[in-house]
Structure 1
């Protein structure tokens, strides 16, 4: 399940980057904040301490 959540967060931020680089979209601060929240969520999921089972 963590893999899907990580993919989703990365996809959200990547979509914004694609819009800026390819489509010429100009994000406002809320777009950037939302992408940052997605990436923080990815970091929490990826680096959370887990028991090896």
Structure 2
């Protein structure tokens, strides 16, 4: 059973990466720049701003 699970995960991983990359490309760069100007760190930028925007693609 673990072998089957690993194979299924490995086969879906390239599609998932492509899906996330395409969705993240549509997020405006100005959001990142505005957060950095306001003093947001890169770590917080990802977890507080970008990750909530990825909810539709994660669903």
What TM-score, normalized to structure 1?
0.35
Say which one has the larger Rg: 2
Return the structure number with greater helix share: 2
RCO (CA 8 Å, sep 6+): is it higher in 1 or 2? 1
